[in-house]
């Protein structure tokens, strides 16, 4: 049975809060002037009242003094303000809708969950949305899954459920016959009921790869991973193929497959050649999340095959090695620093995402190429660990921790939201270059820079 639909969970699958839920709960109770509430205490009360429009009935069972309606509103605002989508979520949903019915099944009060969708700008992003607060049961109750299947007009066996929670999402979906894909973020281990598992940071790539392999999943349930399994062995086979890169042994260490233009393939192979020439670990994928460190000499095999209308070009390196050769947790980046000289003779840089968007640039021109490189290195070093402060809320960065720079979010005179990365010495070392229509979009922009800056390669551009 072919896959016709994909259903997503929302929280911790497609969107995550910038601050942990206990902190958000503390902010809400302080704003409402009620006693602090432990997160687990809240979850216990929540599980006892799944069918509700707001969180007010939940808080009514937890606080004796204070207004539960006010507390529910304060908590909803805190969660919405902190919520950000995972990188690439909007593109993933849009791309999937071209080939599949795409739904959302999310637990929680109806007003709270629809408020999140409004904040994210996703109220019209799905073919169907089911919020279990409008039902008499939440996940993993079969009625929740049956509701979204009915809304999409599909059968369980032709539907993939993508979610993070082992019980609510994975086991619940598997119990009704759906294909269950577990999203991993370090909070839960993979469970045997999952047909596949993918790291949240690589959800887009992993899910697309799984759907390409869908023929082996729905009936035989043969899939156990989305192309990412890890092992060590004393013999490594590192294969470059046109449009793909595979690191193989008796079991697969890393595998990815996608269609790429000649230019994109050339860009990736240049990175490989550069790493080999410099004696550095070689990236096994475009995002450089997995690397392998070949020895000074290895066997090289080049094979060109033609079968029917298909042509295959493979370049294979083989050597004796050990587990230290492979790093499956290398720094990942979906962006590249472009260094260039402008018409005035000044050197500049920009950080370009692989989707073509410029997500950051230097706020000034540099007198030399070397100075521009130093500016890039400062961003690579400081962006990942920089604190984020919202100047509209008069926030200040903590005195300890973080890096030697701080992300500042502010609203300009035209009502657009912007960010800048300010070094402790007062210099602006990077900014977004563009204004954003909302604070939420601005946060998404700087988070993309935080995630991609450190591992981004540096190339000279025309």
What percentage of the chain reaches a pLDDT higher than 70? 84
C-alpha span between 146 and 156 (Å, rounded): 8
Is residue 29 domain-shared with residue 122, that is, in the same domain?
yes
**111-146: b (≥16 Cβ within 10 Å) or e:** bbbbbbbebbebeebbbbbbbbbebeebbbbbebbe
Is residue 97 domain-shared with residue 218, that is, in the same domain?
yes
Choose one of 171, 200, 226: the last residue of a domain. Answer: 226
**249 pLDDT above the threshold of 80:** no
C-alpha span between 142 and 206 (Å, rounded): 26
Bigger pLDDT: 44 vs 214: 44
DSSP 8-state class, residue 366: B
* Three-state SS at 196: strand
Is residue 21 domain-shared with residue 158, that is, in the same domain?
yes
Is residue 222 domain-shared with residue 239, that is, in the same domain?
no
Q: Which of 42-51, 176-185, 343-352 has the lowest mean pLDDT?
A: 42-51
**5 pLDDT above the threshold of 90:** yes
The per-residue pLDDT of the chain, averaged, comes to: 82
**147 pLDDT above the threshold of 90:** yes
CATH number at residue 203: 3.40.50.1000
Bigger pLDDT: 352 vs 48: 352
State how beta strands 159-163 and 5-8 pair. parallel
pLDDT at 328: 65
Confidence grade of residue 94 (pLDDT, cut at 50, 70, 90): very high
Helix and strand counts by DSSP (H, E) for the chain: 12, 24
Is residue 29 domain-shared with residue 177, that is, in the same domain?
yes
pLDDT at 134: 87
**Range 319-339 average pLDDT:** 75
Bigger pLDDT: 15 vs 243: 15
pLDDT at 258: 63
pLDDT at 217: 39
| Paired residues of 41 in beta bridges | none
**60 pLDDT above the threshold of 90:** no
Is residue 193 domain-shared with residue 285, that is, in the same domain?
no
Domain span holding position 260: 235-327
Bigger pLDDT: 352 vs 256: 352
Q: For 394-424, what is each residue's pLDDT tens digit?
A: 888 877 666 889 999 999 999 999 999 999 9
Choose one of 275, 292, 327: the last residue of a domain. Answer: 327
CA dihedral defined by 16, 21, 25, 28, rounded to 10 degrees?
A: -20
Confidence grade of residue 226 (pLDDT, cut at 50, 70, 90): very low
Q: Which of 212-226, 287-301, 336-350, 394-408 has the lowest mean pLDDT?
A: 212-226
C-alpha span between 144 and 179 (Å, rounded): 15
Q: And the tokens for 103?
A: 């739904």
**Range 53-63 average pLDDT:** 83
pLDDT at 285: 66
**220-231: b (≥16 Cβ within 10 Å) or e:** eeebebbbbeee
Is residue 311 domain-shared with residue 360, that is, in the same domain?
no
Confidence grade of residue 254 (pLDDT, cut at 50, 70, 90): low
pLDDT at 222: 39
Q: For 108-130, what is each residue's pLDDT tens digit?
A: 888 889 999 998 999 999 999 99
Is residue 219 domain-shared with residue 245, that is, in the same domain?
no
Is residue 156 domain-shared with residue 25, that is, in the same domain?
yes
Is residue 267 domain-shared with residue 158, that is, in the same domain?
no
Is residue 276 domain-shared with residue 192, that is, in the same domain?
no
Is residue 144 domain-shared with residue 293, that is, in the same domain?
no
Choose one of 226, 259, 292: the last residue of a domain. Answer: 226
C-alpha span between 354 and 34 (Å, rounded): 47
Write down the pTM of the prediction. 0.51
Other beta carbons within 10 Å of 156:
20
Q: In total, how many domains does the chain have? A: 3
pLDDT at 451: 80
Q: Both ends of the chain: CA-CA distance in Å? A: 50
């Amino acid at each position: 049975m072919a896959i016709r639909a994909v259903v997503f969970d929302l929280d911790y699958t497609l969107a995550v809060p910038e601050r942990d839920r206990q902190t958000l709960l503390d902010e809400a109770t302080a704003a409402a002037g009620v006693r602090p509430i432990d997160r687990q205490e809240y979850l216990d009360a929540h599980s006892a009242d799944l069918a509700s429009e707001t969180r007010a009935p939940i808080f009514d069972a937890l606080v004796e003094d204070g207004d539960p309606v006010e507390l529910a509103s304060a908590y909803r605002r805190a969660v919405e303000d902190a919520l950000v989508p995972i990188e690439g979520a909007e593109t993933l949903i849009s791309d999937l809708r071209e080939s599949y019915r795409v739904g959302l099944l999310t637990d929680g009060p109806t007003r709270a969950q629809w408020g999140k969708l409004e904040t994210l700008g996703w109220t019209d992003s799905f073919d169907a949305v089911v919020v279990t607060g409008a039902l008499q049961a939440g996940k993993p109750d079969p009625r929740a899954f049956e509701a979204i299947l009915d809304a999409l007009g599909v059968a369980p066996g032709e539907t993939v459920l993508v979610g993070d929670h082992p019980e609510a999402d994975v086991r619940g979906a598997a119990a009704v016959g759906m294909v269950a894909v577990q999203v991993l973020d370090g909070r839960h281990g993979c469970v045997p009921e999952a047909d596949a598992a993918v790291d949240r940071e690589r959800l887009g790539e992993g899910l697309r790869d799984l759907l390409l392999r869908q023929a082996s999943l729905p009936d035989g349930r043969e899939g156990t991973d989305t192309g990412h399994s890890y092992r060590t062995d004393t013999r490594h086979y590192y294969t470059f193929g046109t449009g793909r890169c595979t690191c193989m042994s008796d079991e697969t260490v890393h595998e990815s497959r996608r269609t790429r233009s000649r230019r994109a393939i050339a860009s990736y192979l240049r990175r490989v050649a550069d790493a080999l020439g410099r004696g550095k670990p070689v990236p096994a994928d475009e995002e450089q999340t997995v690397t392998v460190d070949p020895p000074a000499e290895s066997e090289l095999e080049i094979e060109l095959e033609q079968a029917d209308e298909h042509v295959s070009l493979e370049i294979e390196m083989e050597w004796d090695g050990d587990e230290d050769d492979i790093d499956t947790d290398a720094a990942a980046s979906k962006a590249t620093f472009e260094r260039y000289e402008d018409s005035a003779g000044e050197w500049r840089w920009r950080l370009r995402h692989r989707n073509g968007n410029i997500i950051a640039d230097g706020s000034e021109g540099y007198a030399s190429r070397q100075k521009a490189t130093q500016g890039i290195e400062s961003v690579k070093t400081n962006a990942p660990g920089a604190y984020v402060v919202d100047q509209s809320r008069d926030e200040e960065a903590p005195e300890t921790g973080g890096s030697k720079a701080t992300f500042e979010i502010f609203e300009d005179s035209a009502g657009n939201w912007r960010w800048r990365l300010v070094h402790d010495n007062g210099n602006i070392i990077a900014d977004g270059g563009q204004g954003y229509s909302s604070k939420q979009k601005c946060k998404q922009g700087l988070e993309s820079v935080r995630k991609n800056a450190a591992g981004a390669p540096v190339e000279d551009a025309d």
